[in-house]
Every structure is written in C-alpha cells, then in structure tokens.
Structure 1
Amino acid sequence: MTASSGVNAPHQSFVAGMGFASAASAGELIALLQACLAESGLHSDQLVAIGTHRRRQTSPLLLPLALHFDVPLRLFDEDDLCGAGPGLAEAVASMAGPLHLYRRQSAFATCALARCAPGFSLDIFGQPSSSSAVMASSTLLTSIAGP
C-alpha cells in the first residue's frame, strides 16, 4: 500500500529508510530497496539518500548498499527517531517527508520510502556516515576471513 498512487515525475525526490538484522546480506538490502522502488513506480535516480539507525554505522552492508544506488547514507539516533514512526524504516524515511511506501520486509530487512518535503536538505537529514567506520568494519571482516 502506498501513501500516494500513480507514476511520479522524475524531478521528485525520495529517501529510503532501512532496518536490518545482523543476518541480512548486502544483496538482500539492495534487492529489497529495488523492489520497493519498482512497486512505487520510481526510478533509482529519484532516490537521494538512504537512512538507518546509528547503531548500524559499522555494518559492512551499508557501503555496498549506498554505492549500488550512488546516494549518501545518513544515520539517526534514538532521540532523532523518538515518536517518528511505528518501525525503524518508517521512522527514518518520515524524517524526510510524508511516507510514500510503508514498510516492506524481506527475511532480515525492512524498507520504507518517503517523498522529500518541500525544502528538504541533505545537510539537515540525519548525520553523515563515517565512510572510514564502514570501511574499517569491511576490512576487519575481510581480514578475519583470510586472504
């Protein structure tokens, strides 16, 4: 169920809110977000950011997700999300504007999409992720796995 229906003009911008368990894979997150965009009749170039909870900032899944869609990743603390929505994905997405696609889920992830409200700015949407933290966690996992 979408909060609005119909095909959207290419100039409209959207944000994805993502939640995921440690058992999720980058492929699962990418596939879920692609499915949500398709269900909404949106193109990936309409996506301007992906947001999630700050506790996931070192997850090695985030860098491949953000790189796949070529958008910045934004992080939110509990205080940011308090009362913003019934679930993490919806709460994060709703920080950008009205929900367009309510939570969808796969085995280990959730996704919601919001249309960016007039005046939306990435400068005030969450906190930028530290790519070094994401890279460090990715390097650590690679190091543990061996050559």
Structure 2
Amino acid sequence: MTARFGAIPAPTDRFVAGIGFASAASAGEIIALIRACLAELNLHPSQLAAIGTHMRKATSPLLLPVALYFAVPMRLLDDADLSGDVPGVADAVAAMAGPVRLHKRKSDYATCAISDCKLGFSVASFGQPVSANASIAPSTLLTSSAGP
C-alpha cells in the first residue's frame, strides 16, 4: 500500500494516535494501520506527538517497535485516565489528548483513532511512559530459565 502524505507540517499541527490491538497483532500491522489513518487525514507521520494505548498492554513487545518506527513516545493510560463516555480503547485514548479527528479504524487485529492535540497538550502529562524493560520482559522470561 502506498500512502500519500501532505507537506511537512508546521510544528503546531500535532496529533495523537490511540491504538488497541489483540495478541495476534504484529508491529507491522499496527504501523500500517497508523500510517493508513494518517494518510486518510492527509497528515504526515512527523505530525504525531505520541501514540497511546491501555495500560494492560504495558508488557507487549509490540509497543517499542511501533514507537521507534514513528520516533514518538508511547504512552500508557489506565481506566482512571480514560473517559467512560467514549467506547473502545483507540477512541478513548485519542480523546484524552484532544478532539478525535478520525474515529476508530480497524485492521485484522488492531484499531487506531487519531485526535488533535488540545491547546496546552503535554506528552509528559499524557498517561505514563512505557518502560523498555517491560516491553522486553516476556522474551527475557523465556530465555532466563534456559540451562547451560
């Protein structure tokens, strides 16, 4: 799939991608979905300020590759952070950053919603950061009990 993006944006045009995904998802699928959502809005990937998802995904090995691909922080939000008025993880996470511009889009195993960053948006106060150690923990568990 070839996506066309608009011109490189002014630094004030910033957006957040809210994502949800099943355990069967791959980092490539999530990246492709975010890119498709940005393309649908004629946005450039450099306009992303952050990507967010639910705290229950904190140990997923998919978070770090997705964040690194877009070179943005990955943030985790818990139920207390999210509005109960917005259904679905992707929309609820995106809505915490500002008005949702693109409601949930789906791929086979992932969802994505895009929001504008509200006035005064700060990544530092948007959820919690992902620990690099947490995202590699599952692979470390498998190898830590290996014998000589």
2-side partners of 1:16 and 1:128: how far apart? 15
1-side partners of 2:7 and 2:117: how far apart? 16
1:53-88: per-residue Cα shift (whole Å, max 9, x none)?
001011011111000000001001111114251111
Query: Offset at 1:121?
Result: 0.5
SS of the aligned residue for 1:95 comes to helix
Q: Is residue 68 from structure 1 mapped to residue 52 from structure 2 by the alignment?
A: no
Q: What is the identity percentage for the equivalent residue pairs of Structure 1 and Structure 2?
A: 60
Kept in 2, the 8 Å contact 1:7–1:40? The answer is no
In the other structure, the counterpart of 2:129 is 128
2-side partners of 1:7 and 1:103: how far apart? 24
- Distance change >3 Å, CA 41–CA 138, structure 1 → 2: farther
Q: Is residue 30 from structure 1 mapped to residue 55 from structure 2 by the alignment?
A: no
In the other structure, the counterpart of 1:21 is 22
Q: Counterpart amino acid of 1:51?
A: G
Query: Offset at 1:138?
Result: 4.2
Kept in 1, the 8 Å contact 2:7–2:44? The answer is no
- Per mean C-alpha deviation after superposition, the further-off stretch among 120-129 and 132-141 is 132-141
Kept in 1, the 8 Å contact 2:16–2:115? The answer is yes
- Distance change >3 Å, CA 82–CA 131, structure 1 → 2: same
Kept in 1, the 8 Å contact 2:51–2:67? The answer is yes
Flag structure 1 segments of 5+ consecutive residues without an equivalent. Answer: 1-5
- Distance change >3 Å, CA 104–CA 64, structure 1 → 2: same
Flag structure 2 segments of 5+ consecutive residues without an equivalent. Answer: 1-5
1-side partners of 2:102 and 2:7: how far apart? 13
In the other structure, the counterpart of 1:87 is 88
